[in-house]
Amino acid sequence: MSEGLSFSLTEEQQAFRAAVRELVEDKISPRASDIDSEDEYPWDIDDLLVKNGLSGVSYPEQYGGAGGGAVELCILVEEISRWQAGVSLIPAVNKLGAVAVLLGGTEEQKSEVCSGIATGRHRMSYCLTEPDSGSDAASMRSRATADGDDWIINGSKRWITNAGASDLYTFFAVTDLEARKGQNITAFLVSSDMEGFSLGRKEKKLGIRGSPTREVILENCRVPGSNVLGQVNHGWDIAMRTLDFSRPTIAAQALGIAQGAFDYAVGYCSERKQFGKPIASFQGMQFMFADMAMKLETARLAVYRSAIAVDEDDPDVSYWAAIAKCHASDAAMAITTDCVQALGGYGYISDYPVERLMRDAKITQIYEGTNQIQRVVIARKIFGKLE
């Protein structure tokens, strides 16, 4: 994109989208409502993704993945999110946890994680946020103390997506109490079978149900020195770069949620009649859908522009990722709310999917950095760091 603007996917990417859409509509859409109501991790769908080679999308082939990049991952997440946003977090969160390994891991770690996720042997989560440090994540209280060649980690992380379903965790902890904040954090690869690892309660959430959110607790957890990702005290850079790479994926999730609600509402309003004619024929309704379409298509441009920035290793990837995540999630919240309105009373009941999609949309404005934080990132690019 740096050499010339392109607004279309390649033929291969279009074929990939079509294949994913067919699978989602055939196998995932019939389960969408039940997954939401039962709020249990859908292992059958996880297995479906593995068997169809989708769990390895965006992982380098040299490490046992299926290849592709951020664009392909965004396509996958967008298409799943049109029906079930909680399920879309299976590939999205695996990659979130794995990015730190790809950024700082050894060749052996990269091979184990990538091939393991692709074959369903491993699943990953990302542990950064703590009970007292959300947006100010560098103020974390988790501590890692050297003990010979090992590290002893104590601390807890909150709001960890797919905790319990995952067996591997990228865990960040302070390793130097005397160093400056942000220059004293190390990334570790932690396994759920390590002594001292435990989980807190499963949170009851508004949306993205079917994707467990739990606290991850380490109490005197001994982690081998070989499980350090990157260099000691350089984990903060890995944490922030990981978010740059993952925010386009959350933007794609928001886009998919919005597209799913929009598609359903268009069909409904084309058939629903009032005063003797389809409600889609009323100008007030048409203007509402025109506004939604503008938000939707500009969000799509932002999502795939940011994904290309990741794939091209664009130095401005933080800027593009923040724009995509912020704009797409704000658009998703607005669009799903309008779709509920378009269906009237039917939009407010769980028999119709727009209610679920509206609930799912809200979290996209919050996680992977709130949209207020995204605006800070964007403003810093515009003005630089002002004292």
**How confident is the model over 156-199, as pLDDT tens digits?**
999 999 999 999 999 999 999 999 999 999 999 999 999 999 99
The string of pLDDT tens digits covering residues 207-252 is 999 999 999 999 999 999 999 999 999 999 999 999 999 999 999 9
Residues pairing with 277 in the sheet: 274
Q: Does the pLDDT of residue 368 top 80, yes or no? A: yes
Structure confidence at residue 1 as a pLDDT band (50, 70, 90): very low
Q: Which member of 38, 355, 368, 387 is catalytic? A: 368
Which single residue is written with the structure tokens 């380098």? 60
- Closest to 216 (Cα-Cα) out of 126, 86, 88, 89: 126
Q: What is the DSSP string of 324-349?
A: HHHHHHHHHHHHHHHHHHHTGGGGGS
Q: How far apart are CA 6 and CA 174, in angstroms?
A: 43
Residues pairing with 155 in the sheet: 218
Q: Does the pLDDT of residue 28 top 90, yes or no? A: yes
Percent of the chain with pLDDT over 90: 97
Query: Is 178 assigned a catalytic role?
Result: no
Residues 6+ apart with CB under 8 A from 54: 20, 23, 66, 76, 91
Q: Does the pLDDT of residue 387 top 90, yes or no? A: no
Burial of 39 (0-12, 13-18, 19+ CB in 10 A): middle
